[in-house]
Amino acid sequence: MSYMMHLWLVMLFSLFFIGCESDDPAGPPEGQGRVVMYLADAPTDSFTEVNVEIESIEIYSEQKGWIELQTEAGIYNLLELTNGTMAMLVDVNVEADTYTMIRVHIGGESTIVVEGSMVDISIDAGAHEGIELAHHIELESGATTEILLDFDAHRSVSGSLVGGFVLDPVIRVQSMEEAGDVSGQVVPPEAKAVVIASQQGDIVTSTYADENSGEYKLVGLAEGEYDVEFVARSDGYETEVYSGVAVEAGQETELETVELENNDNYDN
């Protein structure tokens, strides 16, 4: 290759990469903000899998109406999205504006596994055109907004093997910048504890502690005080409750190790 040809190619590639960098800045371009949405689940013992097909997600503003977001469409087993594990559904730049609604479209390929059998789920008629969730998003130019969609599998699926199952999604929406987490460990691991966060008697979210380590993490809790309850799914253990657990936005509250007392009077 001649020297002039080599020099020309170097200049061409240099211009190419400079152009790419100008089109792909570190943050959202002027006039746009970045929206990131995650999917997590409050678990259930009723099923061994809850496979929900997410088709698309939209957001709504009075100025622009419904805007469809580029979505990681697919089938997600909700029972794998617990204890701090989340799936990213959306990561996209959109025009800065005030958005007041989120709409989640669920597909017809949703299934559950119950008693070893995979069963189709019918979509509730009210949710057939998409689940609309009221949530205020003040998206500013150059800013990033992260949102958690906390799917409650236990409350969302109803029915039986005889009559069939229906999916009527119950989803909690939480802006992550206004939320914190609660984490810790509950022993012994063989107690198979479920960890429940509630306010004024209403359950906000829950998770299962890891069955090997006993570690747990409750994610996306709005700033405030919570009662955190530790309930064994294995027989023979007492329940523990920590009241007034403070959660601060952007912080992780780590609780001391919780030991569930074995009830020696339990009759096998």
pLDDT in tens, 96-151: 999 999 999 999 999 999 988 999 999 888 777 899 999 999 999 999 999 999 99
Is 219:82 a contact under the CB 8 Å cutoff? no
**Helix, coil or strand: residue 140:** coil
Please list the residues that pair with 166 across neighbouring strands.
122, 158
**Helix, coil or strand: residue 51:** strand
Using 50, 70 and 90 to split pLDDT, how confident is the model at 268? very low
Per-residue confidence (pLDDT) for residue 240, from 0 to 100: 97
Cβ-proximal residues to 64 (8 Å cutoff; 6+ apart), any chain: 95, 97
Q: Look up tokens 């040809």; give the residue.
A: 5
pLDDT in tens, 234-261: 999 999 999 999 999 999 999 999 999 9
> DSSP 3-state helix, strand, coil percentages of the chain (rounded to 5)?
15, 55, 30
Per-residue confidence (pLDDT) for residue 106, from 0 to 100: 94
Q: Which residue has the higher pLDDT, 11 or 260?
A: 260
> Cβ–Cβ contacts within 10 Å for residue 85, how many?
14
Residue 72 is classified by DSSP as: -
Q: Which two tokens stand for residue 129?
A: 């055109």
Select from 209, 180, 182 the least CA-distant residue to 195. Answer: 209
pLDDT in tens, 62-108: 999 999 999 999 999 999 999 999 999 999 999 999 999 999 999 99
Is 261:233 a contact under the CB 8 Å cutoff? no
For the whole model, what pTM was predicted? 0.85
Q: Domain-by-domain residue ranges, the chain?
A: 29-169, 179-268
**CATH 2.60.40 is held by the domain 29-169:** yes
For domain 179-268, the CATH architecture is: Sandwich (2.60)
Indicate if the pLDDT at residue 18 is higher than 80.
no
Backbone angles phi, psi at 193, to 5 degrees: -75, 140
